[in-house]
Amino acid sequence: EIVLTQSPGTLSLSPGERATLSCRASQSINSIYLAWYQQKPGQAPRLLIQGASSRATGVPDRFSGSGSGTDFTLSISRLEPEDFAVYYCQHFGSSLWTFGQGTKVEIK
Amino acid sequence: EVQLVESGGGLVQPGGSLRLSCAASGFTFSSYTMHWVRQAPGKGLEWVSSITGSSNAIYYADSVKGRFTVSRDNAKNSLYLQMNSLRAEDTAVYYCARGYSSVWYFMGHWGQGILVTVSS
């Protein structure tokens, strides 16, 4: 079973700054099976990035995903007030879905 | 507009059973893989189960295998999760989610979630 480890646990930044979130897989994975989700307090998660780098419908272009093998990154170019949330990476493989533990992006 | 509405949650004693439902609208339900994902209070997301559009493939997390059963009724545009032998660690908000277009293995639309509390 693939284990996804996200870092850092919490990222304290100011609006307008760039955010870089990491997701590391316990073994090499096919990037087409890697996604990122955003979850705001009291809300359901929202799909942001699928296939490691493709934005989901309606996702602003300040969000971008990259990576391959075991190391994947979600970047937010300039943080807007509505971007402060928890972000999860997710993998599908061998008939199993796994989530990372999440990275909280908080206002500094 | 895609809408997913969960129901059937509540308080149940350890060892008890509960059946969650998810009513879907705004899309051709039978064409999409559906998922259940849960989130314990203050914790992260945990995938629970998935079922393809025709129910020909069903998947479970090890933590619920043998206790939970996912099913769907395409005529009623509804998804179900029968939960038996419930444990305290099953306490969570349960979300139903729809596959993301042709990328069926990602969750593109989510319901608002329903709370299940397992406690005596």
Quick: pLDDT tens for A56-76: 999 999 999 999 999 999 999
Task: Quote the pLDDT of residue B57.
Answer: 96
DSSP state of A61: T
CB-based contact B6:B24 (threshold 8 Å)? no
CA distance B99 to B52: 9
8 Å CB contact of B110 and A45: yes
Which residue in A88, A92, A101 is closest to B105 by CB distance?
A92
Determine the average pLDDT of the residues in A37-64.
97
* Residue B101: predicted pLDDT: 83
Tell me the pLDDT band of B51, cut-offs 50, 70 and 90. Answer: very high
pLDDT given at position A68? 97
- Tell me how far the alpha carbon of residue A21 is from its chain's centroid: 7
Is residue A9 predicted with pLDDT exceeding 90? yes
CA proximity to A105, closest of A5, A15, A11: A11
The predicted-structure confidence for B77-114, as pLDDT tens digits, reads as follows: 999 999 999 999 999 999 999 999 888 999 999 999 99
Q: What is the mean pLDDT of residues B54-81?
A: 98
**Residue among B34, B50, B107 with most chain A CBs within 10 A, to mutate:** B107
Contact assessment for residue A32 and residue A52, using Cβ atoms and an 8 Å cutoff: yes
Q: Report the percentage of chain A scoring pLDDT > 70.
A: 100
List all residues of chain A from 35 to 94 with a beta carbon under 8 Å from chain B: 35, 37, 39, 44-47, 50-51, 56-57, 88, 90, 92
| Residue showing tokens 């999760």 | B81
- Please answer yes or no on whether A37 and B61 come within 8 Å at the CB atom: no
Q: What percent of chain B has pLDDT above 70?
A: 100
Task: Dump strand ranges (E) for chain B.
Answer: 3-7, 10-12, 18-25, 34-39, 45-51, 58-60, 68-73, 78-83, 92-100, 103-110, 114-118
CA gap B105, B99 in Å, rounded: 6
Residue A86 clears pLDDT 90, i.e. is over it: yes
| CA of B100 vs chain A CAs: smallest distance (Å) | 9
- What is the pLDDT confidence band of residue B73, given thresholds at 50, 70 and 90? very high
Name the residue among A44, A57, A92 with its Cβ closest to that of B113. Answer: A44
